């Protein structure tokens, strides 16, 4: 048995990362300083979006997106059951209702044909928006989603937590990076340590829409405006004589404190420099798994090797999933299951969702297992994982 536990995902922190955090800790700003904008600009540049807003985590990013798009009580929003619960929860934070649509069993992504059928079978205006998820790092074809969204007047929040560096090829043959804002109104990312870029906790919203961008900046920090041009109270009420006093600010909407700190932004910025190398390594690892498992019919995987896959997760489906999970665990290998379908969470069952609602998602859940996938996974470690799996299979 190997001595070091092998998790399904883990962060990679270099000396350079550590130094970048130490530098900020020794400086003047622990938060609300210059690292935030540097990280935002570098991230927008990496993804190819016009704007980026750094926030405290991916869930906060989703919440702010739902607020910026005015999700209200009674509004219905579509998402997939195979995702982290936060993709749906952000709608509930604003009082909206979540409508799940089953996955495509070949890609594990929300089934766009089924979304289309749902929209066609409901009066126009029934749904306000859709939250497609680039699950496991495989990009949703947002051009197709946008076609439906335009026809049915839906906004799109792309949950790209698994897919910084991922892309799909559009109908013109062009690469469309996940989160680049060409099709979705807003996209979100997470910098939790299991994701591609780690900042401890952290998140980012990307968009090409200036108005949404400006609103997000306010919502991130209590709804406060600090900009003479946009004050609505008079100078006199503010306590000034012929200009607004230096201390003055206005809270113009109900916002939150969803800020990222400067030392987290510095870590994210330092990690971002290695993002391309990380993706390359993830794709190498995926190729080795693909080759090893192509020899057996006992293992199913996501169909079609996809160019733009960001491989946050490497998932296989096996019949005795529980057996394999426990066998790997007894060998110090900690695979994980992504995800327990959100509609089966006790919280969501109160809205009437139940077993049998989404057969593809439920079948997938009964067989899926996420294998170790992170840039520092060594060849020796991966070979051990592979041989244990092949040994275990009947």
Ligand X SMILES: *Cc1c(COP(=O)(O)O)cnc(C)c1O
Positions that interact with ligand X (CB under 6 A): 57-59, 83-84, 86-87, 133, 159, 161-162, 190, 192, 203
Rg of the chain in Å (alpha carbons): 22
Nearer to ligand X, 131 or 389 (CB): 131
Nearer to ligand X, 34 or 193 (CB): 193
b/e per residue 311-348 (b: at least 16 CB within 10 A): bbbbbbbbeebeebbebbeebebebbebbebbbbbeeb
Distance CA 59, CA 244 (A): 36
Nearer to ligand X, 192 or 281 (CB): 192
Q: Residue 112 CA to chain centroid, in angstroms?
A: 19
Q: How far is the CB of 58 from ligand X (least distance, A)?
A: 2
Exposed / middle / buried, residue 180 (Cβ in 10 Å: 0-12, 13-18, 19+)? buried
Closest residue to ligand X, judged by C-beta, is 58
Distance CA 148, CA 126 (A): 14
Nearer to ligand X, 88 or 389 (CB): 88
Nearer to ligand X, 157 or 225 (CB): 157
Q: Is the dihedral of CA 37, 39, 42, 48 positive or negative?
A: negative
Smallest CA-to-CA distance from 187 within 171, 205, 170, 172 is with: 205
Q: How far is the CB of 264 from ligand X (least distance, A)?
A: 11
Q: Is the dihedral of CA 8, 110, 168, 364 positive or negative?
A: positive
Please tell me whether the peptide bond between 339 and the residue prior to it is cis, using omega within 30 degrees of 0: yes
Q: How far is the CB of 114 from ligand X (least distance, A)?
A: 19
Nearer to ligand X, 84 or 353 (CB): 84
Distance CA 112, CA 285 (A): 29
Q: How far is the CB of 252 from ligand X (least distance, A)?
A: 26
Q: How far is the CB of 90 from ligand X (least distance, A)?
A: 9
Q: How far is the CB of 279 from ligand X (least distance, A)?
A: 16
Which residues have C-beta within 8 Å of that of residue 165, sequence separation ≥ 6?
Answer: 46, 177, 178, 196, 275, 276, 278, 279, 310
Smallest CA-to-CA distance from 216 within 232, 204, 228, 227 is with: 204
Q: How far is the CB of 324 from ligand X (least distance, A)?
A: 23
Nearer to ligand X, 88 or 119 (CB): 88
Check if the beta carbon of residue 148 is closer than 8 Å to that of residue 101.
no
Nearer to ligand X, 83 or 215 (CB): 83
How many beta carbons lie within 10 A of that of residue 229, not counting itself?
A: 5
Nearer to ligand X, 138 or 146 (CB): 138
Q: How far is the CB of 345 from ligand X (least distance, A)?
A: 14
Tokens (6 digits) for 211? 């108005």
Distance CA 331, CA 23 (A): 40
Q: How far is the CB of 150 from ligand X (least distance, A)?
A: 25
Q: How far is the CB of 189 from ligand X (least distance, A)?
A: 8
Nearer to ligand X, 293 or 342 (CB): 342
């Amino acid at each position: 048995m190997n001595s070091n536990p092998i998790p399904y995902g883990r962060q990679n922190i270099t000396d350079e990362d550590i130094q970048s955090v130490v530098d900020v800790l020794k400086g003047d700003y622990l938060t609300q300083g210059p690292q935030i904008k540097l990280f935002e600009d570098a991230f927008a540049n990496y993804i190819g979006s016009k704007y980026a807003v750094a926030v405290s985590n991916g869930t906060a990013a989703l919440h702010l997106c739902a607020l910026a798009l005015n999700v209200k009580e009674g509004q219905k929003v579509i998402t997939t059951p195979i995702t982290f619960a936060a993709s749906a929860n952000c709608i509930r934070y604003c009082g909206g209702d979540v409508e799940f649509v089953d996955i495509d069993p070949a890609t594990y992504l929300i089934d766009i044909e089924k979304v289309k059928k749902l929209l066609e079978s409901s009066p126009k205006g029934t749904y306000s928006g859709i939250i497609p998820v680039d699950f496991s790092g495989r990009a949703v074809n947002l051009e197709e989603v946008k076609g439906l969204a335009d026809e049915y007047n839906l906004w799109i929040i792309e949950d790209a937590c698994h897919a910084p560096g991922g892309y799909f090829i559009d109908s013109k043959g062009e690469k469309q990076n996940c989160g680049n804002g060409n099709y979705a109104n807003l996209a979100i990312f997470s910098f939790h340590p299991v994701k591609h870029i780690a900042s401890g906790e952290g998140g980012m919203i990307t968009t090409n829409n200036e108005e949404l961008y400006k609103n997000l900046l306010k919502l991130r920090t209590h709804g406060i405006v600090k900009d003479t041009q946009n004050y609505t109270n008079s100078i006199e009420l503010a306590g000034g004589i012929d200009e607004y006093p230096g201390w003055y600010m206005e809270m113009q909407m109900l916002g939150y404190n969803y800020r990222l700190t400067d030392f987290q932004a510095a870590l994210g910025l330092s990690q971002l420099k290695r993002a391309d190398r990380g993706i390359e390594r993830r794709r190498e690892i995926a190729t080795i798994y693909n080759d090893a498992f192509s020899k057996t019919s006992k293992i199913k995987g996501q169909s079609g090797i996809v160019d733009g896959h960001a491989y946050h997760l490497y998932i296989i489906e096996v019949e005795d999933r529980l057996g394999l999970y426990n066998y790997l665990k007894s060998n110090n290998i900690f695979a994980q299951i992504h995800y327990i379908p959100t509609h089966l969470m006790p919280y969501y069952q109160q809205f009437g969702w139940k077993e049998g609602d989404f057969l593809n998602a439920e079948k997938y859940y009964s067989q899926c297992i996420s294998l170790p996938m992170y840039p520092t996974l060594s060849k020796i470690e991966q070979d051990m994982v592979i041989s244990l799996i092949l040994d275990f299979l009947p």
